[in-house]
Amino acid sequence: MNRIPWAVLLGLLVGVGLGLVYSWTISPLRVVDAEPVALRADFKDQYRSAIAAAYAATGDLTRAQARLSLLKDSDPIEVLNAQAQRMLATGESLAEADQVAALASALAQNGIDLPVSSPAVEVTNNTVNTLPTLTSALPPSEIPSQLTETPIIETPQVIETQATSASSTPRPTRTPIPTFGSPFALTGQESICDPNLSDGLLQIVVLNSNRRQMPGMEILITWEGGAENFFTGLKPELGNGYADYIMTPDVTYAVQLRQGSDIASGLTTPTCQTPDGATFFGGIKLTFQQP
């Protein structure tokens, strides 16, 4: 009967143990320069919040787009809107949620999604090479912008673009992108006398042409000596296209959508009366719809 090689087994166990101690304690694996797409979901949310804060401070939408593209989200605007709603639902800072929603609104307002690669042709010294050129994936209702394919002939000192003229022209750039198109129409305005609602509650609902509520729409409210911005979709339990604002009594307001709309002016808190004769301040409900 063969004897069990206890010495060999003991040596193997000791080696495995020492290897685990070294790899877990003495020199554990450290991930350095990982791509943002590899982050955990909660860390991705923190990354988007940082991008939104930077955009709020600088207004550099191009840089924000470039940073968001590293996450490789299939629909960055929808992801940003969903994150803003989660932040409000979990009690996070309203200011940070507004920054995330504002970045989503800016991307939607400019009709720009994150860039994807498509081939363009460059001719250099009679050799055809394929280079990536950025195009924009736009919603169906938008007019798409695209980069034209322009052959480029390189000489030893001067790069010329073959076009209708022989003069040197810049490399292809993005053309201006139109906004949402037709302004939103003010299709509804009514006074609300409901004692169960907050006094002076201004409710706003934004619909598209198919009467579907639209999140991330920026609303501008102004009054004498002041102005404020807020967004739809931050209270998803009341509707993706819903937003509200508490008006101060005896102050006259005007409301419009930043993307372009009719102006609801002369808005003041209505005075309402309960069945027992007591008075209270009611509210107003506005409905904007895209033609």
Q: 219 near 204, Cβ under 8 Å?
A: yes
Max mean pLDDT range (129-138, 199-208, 230-239): 199-208
Residues 6+ apart with CB under 8 A from 196: none
Q: Residue 11's pLDDT is what?
A: 84
* Pair type for strands 283-289 and 201-207: parallel
- The neighbour count for residue 247, using CB atoms within 10 Å, is 23
> For the segment 258-272, what is each residue's pLDDT rounded down to a tens digit?
989 999 999 999 999
Same domain, 86 and 150: no
Domain assignment present for 28: no
218 and 124 fall within a common domain: no
User: CATH number for the domain including 230?
Assistant: 2.60.40.1120
| pLDDT digits 0-9 by tens, 94-108 | 888 888 888 888 888
CA count, 13 A, side-chain hemisphere, 69: 15
- pLDDT of 32: 62
With a cut of 70, say whether residue 143 has pLDDT above it.
no
156 and 120: one domain? yes
* CB contact set of 17 (below 8 Å; sequence gap of 6+): none
Are 203 and 285 in a shared domain?
yes
Residue 21 lies in a domain: no
Please, what is the angle between helix 61-69 and helix 94-109, to 10°? 100
Q: How many domains does the chain fold into?
A: 3
Which has the minimum average pLDDT: 176-180, 189-193, 229-233, 277-281? Answer: 176-180
* Rg (alpha carbons) of the chain, rounded to whole number: 29
In a domain, 210, yes or no: yes
**Is residue 209 a part of any domain in this protein?**
yes
Phi-psi group of 200: left, alpha or beta (phi > 0 → left; psi -120 to 50 → alpha; rest → beta): left
Co-location of 133 and 93 in the same domain:
no
The whole-number average pLDDT for the span 65-69 is 89
Mean pLDDT of 50-61: 89
d(CA 39, CA 73): 12
For residue 238, the model assigns a pLDDT of 87
Longest Cα–Cα distance of the chain, Å, equals 105
Tokens of 153: 């002939």
- Domain residue limits at 100: 36-109
Lookup: tokens for 159: 């790069």
| Cα–Cα dist 128/119, whole Å | 12
pLDDT at 203 over 90: yes
Provide the mean pLDDT of the chain.
77
The letter for the amino acid at 24 is W
- Percent of residues, the chain, with pLDDT higher than 70: 72
Q: Where are the alpha helices (DSSP H) in the chain?
A: 6-21, 41-58, 61-69, 76-89, 94-109
- Kindly state the tokens that stand for 111: 């009709």
Q: Looking at the structure, tell me whether residues 128 and 105 fall in a common domain.
A: no
pLDDT score, position 270: 94
- Which residue, 161, 195, 228, sits at the end of a domain? 161
Do 201 and 284 reside in the same domain of the chain? yes
Q: Are residues 154 and 245 in the same domain?
A: no
Distance between the two ends of the chain, CA-based, in angstroms?
Answer: 91
Residues 189 and 284 in one domain: yes
Is 199 in the same domain as 275? Answer: yes
- Decide which of 75, 109, 143 is a domain's last residue: 109
pLDDT at residue number 164: 40
Closest CA to 104 of 29, 34, 44, 51: 51
The DSSP string of 155-208 is -SS-EEE-SSSSS--PPP-PPP---SSSPBEEEEEEEE--TTSPTTEEEEEEE-
175 inside domain: no
The better pLDDT of the pair 280, 173 is held by 280
- Count of residues making up the chain: 291
Note whether 156 and 60 are same-domain residues: no
Q: Does residue 134 lie in a domain region?
A: yes
Torsion 104-107-109-112 (CA) sign: negative
Is 216 within a domain? yes
Q: Where a domain ends, among 126, 161, 196?
A: 161
Give a yes or no: residue 13 inside a domain.
Answer: no
Confidence of residue 2 (pLDDT cuts 50, 70, 90): low
Does residue 136 have a pLDDT over 50? no
Confidence of residue 113 (pLDDT cuts 50, 70, 90): low
User: 241 to each of 120, 205, 215, 280, how far by Cα in Å?
Assistant: 39, 5, 5, 28
Most confident among 54-63, 83-92, 156-165, 240-249 (mean pLDDT): 240-249
Task: Please indicate, yes or no, whether residues 279 and 212 belong to a single structural domain of this protein.
Answer: yes
